């Protein structure tokens, strides 16, 4: 990684024109308790040629003040944006606002209550150096309970298994199909670095979703059209706090309407792009069937989510999914 600007590079103050700029976009709304940690995790990156774009989504607490203080302290590196009138527009619109104002050759998005591990950007850029034909590089995510004594009692830290061979380059539409066949399992955008030009051409976040779904639709666009390198390394921590923990334990049936919206949007996108791949359409059809089956088990799912810890639910689902993937393998788009 000699061509990468890091803390250990004696010449990191010079020659930065050869080191690609990475834009990090953090949308936030009422996250005064956690925003400082998210920002500090970017400042602590071993890869130094980054810009941080903080985008307020109509906060009513002290979040905006925190963001403004960081922007004032680091005017050459950290920038603050907000919607006209400081209105609330949702995660998709807020991420898009930050992306439109970014200048980096690469871009990543970090949720305001999560943190990026110190070597994340360095490892992602190294992967792009090794595989310049990739449009995106993705790593693993850790569910993070140990950040406080309160949440330690709710669960233990664990990494999400993507149920895929890592350190591999995947051609489209392999990861789109895998996402559906694995029940919606995909890399988190906290752990995804994208070529900015690719994202501008292929589409940004859906803005009609205010809380759920905008990332799934964008992932569909990316994985249908982009070559993606999947890393084995864990790159970010997904903070579990009362709000996120309760969401993880609530009835998954309440999200069915979001999945219905997702499927409708993706179906229209496939038709608009005139995608004829039978494997894509078959995976979409089978995923619709599985959602229909899950909706009929709403009561069981509710009880299951309330009494079984999230880590055990993931492990149980992983076993079932691996059996299914082994019985019905898919090889298209893998290198």
**CATH code of the domain covering residue 299:** 3.90.550.10
pLDDT reading at 73 higher than 90: yes
Classify residue 33: in a domain, yes or no: yes
Confidence band for 2, pLDDT divided at 50, 70 and 90: very low
- As a whole number of angstroms, the distance between CA 289 and CA 143 comes to 29
Digit-coded pLDDT (tens) for 157-168 = 899 999 999 999
Element at 239 (helix H, strand E): strand 228-239
Digit-coded pLDDT (tens) for 77-89 = 999 999 999 999 9
Classify residue 221: in a domain, yes or no: yes
Percentage of residues in the chain with pLDDT exceeding 90?
A: 60
pLDDT at 54: 99
Classify residue 151: in a domain, yes or no: yes
Treating both helix axes as pointing N-terminal to C-terminal, what angle do 278-296 and 256-272 enclose, rounded to 10 degrees?
Answer: 170
Yes or no: say if 19 and 45 are a contact pair by the CB < 8 Å rule. Answer: no
Report the domain count for the chain.
1
Confidence band for 11, pLDDT divided at 50, 70 and 90: very low
Confidence band for 255, pLDDT divided at 50, 70 and 90: low
pLDDT reading at 258 higher than 80: no
Classify residue 4: in a domain, yes or no: no
Digit-coded pLDDT (tens) for 179-194 = 999 988 899 999 999 9
The residue among 89, 92, 90 whose CA lies nearest residue 100 is: 92
Classify residue 94: in a domain, yes or no: yes
Confidence band for 260, pLDDT divided at 50, 70 and 90: confident
Assigned token pair, 84:
């006209």
Burial classification of residue 184, based on how many CB atoms lie within 10 Å of its CB (0-12 exposed, 13-18 middle, 19 or more buried): middle
Phi first, then psi: give them for residue 93, nearest 5 degrees. -65, -35
pLDDT reading at 8 higher than 50: no
Classify residue 216: in a domain, yes or no: yes
Yes or no: say if 119 and 42 are a contact pair by the CB < 8 Å rule. Answer: no
Q: How far is CA 324 from CA 163, 173, 187, 189, 278, in A?
A: 11, 19, 20, 26, 19
- As a whole number of angstroms, the distance between CA 309 and CA 295 comes to 21
pLDDT reading at 210 higher than 80: no
pLDDT reading at 16 higher than 50: no
pLDDT reading at 138 higher than 60: yes
Burial classification of residue 302, based on how many CB atoms lie within 10 Å of its CB (0-12 exposed, 13-18 middle, 19 or more buried): middle
Q: What share of the chain is helix, strand, coil (3-state, %, to 5)?
A: 45, 15, 35
Classify residue 332: in a domain, yes or no: no
Digit-coded pLDDT (tens) for 80-117 = 999 999 999 998 999 999 999 999 999 999 999 999 99
Confidence band for 309, pLDDT divided at 50, 70 and 90: confident
Classify residue 285: in a domain, yes or no: yes
pLDDT at 252: 47
Domain housing 271: 16-327
Bigger pLDDT: 320 vs 271 = 271
CA dihedral 37, 45, 94, 263 (to 10 degrees): -100
- Average pLDDT across the chain, whole number: 86
Q: Which of 151-155, 184-188, 203-207 has the highest mean pLDDT?
A: 184-188
Distance of CA 277 to the CA centre of its chain: 26
């Amino acid at each position: 990684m000699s061509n990468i600007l890091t803390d250990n590079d004696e010449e990191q103050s010079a020659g930065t024109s050869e080191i690609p700029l990475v834009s990090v976009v953090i949308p936030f709304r009422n996250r005064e308790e956690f925003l400082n940690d998210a920002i500090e995790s970017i400042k602590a990156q071993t890869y130094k040629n980054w810009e941080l774009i903080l985008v307020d989504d109509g906060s009513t607490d002290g979040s905006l003040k925190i963001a403004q203080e960081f922007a004032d302290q680091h005017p050459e590196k950290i920038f603050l944006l907000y919607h006209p009138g400081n209105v609330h527009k949702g995660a998709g619109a807020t991420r898009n606002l930050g992306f439109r104002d970014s200048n980096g050759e690469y871009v990543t998005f970090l949720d305001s209550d999560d943190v990026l591990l110190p070597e994340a950007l360095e490892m992602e850029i190294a992967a792009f150096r090794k595989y310049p034909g990739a449009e995106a590089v993705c790593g693993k995510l850790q569910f993070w309970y140990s950040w406080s004594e309160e949440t330690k009692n709710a669960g233990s830290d664990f990494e999400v298994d993507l149920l895929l061979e890592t350190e591999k380059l995947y051609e489209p539409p392999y990861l789109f199909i895998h996402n559906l066949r694995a029940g919606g399992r995909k890399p988190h955008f906290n752990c995804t670095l994208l070529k900015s030009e690719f994202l501008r051409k292929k589409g940004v976040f859906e803005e009609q979703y205010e809380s759920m779904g905008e990332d799934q639709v964008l992932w569909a666009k990316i994985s249908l059209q982009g070559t993606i390198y999947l890393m084995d390394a864990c790159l970010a921590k997904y903070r579990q706090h009362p709000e996120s923990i309760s969401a993880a334990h609530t009835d998954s049936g309440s999200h069915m309407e979001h999945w219905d919206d997702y499927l409708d949007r993706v179906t229209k996108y496939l038709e608009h792009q005139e995608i004829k791949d039978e494997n894509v359409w078959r995976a979409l059809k089978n995923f619709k069937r599985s959602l229909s089956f899950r909706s009929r088990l709403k009561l069981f799912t509710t009880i299951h989510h309330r009494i079984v810890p999230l880590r055990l639910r993931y492990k149980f689902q992983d076993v079932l999914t691996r059996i299914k993937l082994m019985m019905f393998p898919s090889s298209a788009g893998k290198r």
